[in-house]
Chains A and B, each alone.
Chain A
Amino acid sequence: MSFDEARQTFADEVDELLQQMEEALLVLESAPQDQETLNSVFRAMHTIKGSAGLFGFDEVVHFTHTVEAELDRVRSGQRPVDSDLIAVLLACRDQVATLVSAALQEMQVSDEVKAQGQAILARLQPVNHSAAPKPQTQPEAIASAAAQAVPAEPQAALWLLVLDFKADAFRNGMDPLSFIRYLSTLGEIQYLLVDEQAWPSVEAFDPESCYLKFYLGLYACTQVSVLEEVFEFAEDDCTLDIIPPDTDESVYAQVLQQASPELQAQLTELVAQASAVPEAVMTQKVLEESQEGIREPQASAHPTPAAKTGASPKSTRENVSIRVDAQRLGYLINLVGELVIASAATKLMVRQHGINEADEAVATMESLVEEIRDHALQLRMVQIGDTFARFRRVVRDVSKELGKQIDLQISGGDTELDKTVVEKINDPLTHLIRNALDHGIEAPEIRRAAGKPEHGSVSLNAFHDSGHIVIQISDDGRGLDTQKIRAKAERLGLVSADQHLSHQETLRLIFEAGLSTKEEATNLSGRGVGMDVVRRNIESLRGSVDLESQVGKGTKVSIHLPLTLAIIDGFMVGAGEEAYVLPLANVAECVELHQASWHVQDRHYVNLRGEVLPYLSLRDFLQKETGQQQQRRESLVVVRFGRKRAGLIVDALYGELQTVIKPIGKIFQKVHAISGATILGNGEIALILDVQGLIDMAYQEAQQTQGTSGRLYHA
Chain B
Amino acid sequence: MPAEYATLEETPGLVLKGELSIYTAAELKPVFFMLLQEAQEHLHLDLQGVDDIDGAGVQLLLLFRRELLQAGIELHIQASPIVAETLQLLHLQQHFTLAPASPSP
Task: Give the interface of A toward B (CB within 8 A).
Answer: 165, 169-170, 174-177, 180-181, 184, 189, 191-194, 196, 199, 202, 205, 207-208, 210-212
Contact between chains at A208 and B56 (CB < 8 Å) = yes
**Which chain B residue lies CB-closest to A200?**
B63
Judge whether B84 is part of the interface by a CB distance below 8 angstroms.
Answer: no
Taken together as a complex, chains A and B put the C-alpha atoms of A193 and B66 apart, in Å, by: 14
Question: Which of chain A's residues have a CB closer than 8 A to the CB of B39?
Answer: none
Of A165, A176, A191, A207, which one neighbours B26 at CB under 8 angstroms? A207
Pull 12 A–B residue pairs with CB atoms less than 8 Å apart, ordered by A. A165-B55, A174-B55, A189-B91, A194-B90, A205-B29, A207-B26, A207-B29, A207-B60, A207-B63, A210-B55, A211-B59, A212-B58
Contact between chains at B86 and A208 (CB < 8 Å) = no
- If A196-B66, A199-B66 touch, whether A181 touches B89 (CB-CB below 8 Å) is yes
Task: Give the interface of B toward A (CB within 8 A).
Answer: 22, 25-26, 28-29, 33, 54-56, 58-60, 62-63, 66-67, 86, 89-92
- If A177-B86, A207-B26, A210-B56 touch, whether A194 touches B62 (CB-CB below 8 Å) is yes
Of B54, B66, B91, which one neighbours A175 at CB under 8 angstroms? B54
- If A202-B33, A205-B29 touch, whether A177 touches B63 (CB-CB below 8 Å) is no
Contact between chains at A169 and B55 (CB < 8 Å) = yes
A-side interface mostly: loop
Contact between chains at A177 and B89 (CB < 8 Å) = yes
Q: A175-B54, A202-B63, A207-B29 are in contact. List 4 more A-B contacts (CB 8 A).
A: A169-B55, A207-B26, A207-B28, A211-B59
Taken together as a complex, chains A and B put the C-alpha atoms of A398 and B37 apart, in Å, by: 82
Contact between chains at A205 and B63 (CB < 8 Å) = yes
- If A180-B89, A202-B67 touch, whether A210 touches B59 (CB-CB below 8 Å) is yes
Question: Which of chain A's residues have a CB closer than 8 A to the CB of B22?
Answer: 170, 175, 208
Contact between chains at A199 and B55 (CB < 8 Å) = no
**Which chain B residue lies CB-closest to A207?**
B25
Contact between chains at A212 and B91 (CB < 8 Å) = no
Contact between chains at A175 and B55 (CB < 8 Å) = yes
Question: Which of chain B's residues have a CB closer than 8 A to the CB of A170?
Answer: 22, 55-56
Contact between chains at A212 and B55 (CB < 8 Å) = yes
Taken together as a complex, chains A and B put the C-alpha atoms of A219 and B85 apart, in Å, by: 20
Of A184, A193, A202, A207, which one neighbours B59 at CB under 8 angstroms? A207
- If A207-B28, A208-B26 touch, whether A191 touches B91 (CB-CB below 8 Å) is yes
**Which chain A residue lies CB-closest to B67?**
A202
**Which chain B residue lies CB-closest to A174?**
B55
CB-based closest 9 A-B pairs: A207-B25, A176-B55, A192-B91, A207-B29, A170-B22, A175-B54, A175-B55, A177-B55, A207-B26
Taken together as a complex, chains A and B put the C-alpha atoms of A70 and B101 apart, in Å, by: 54
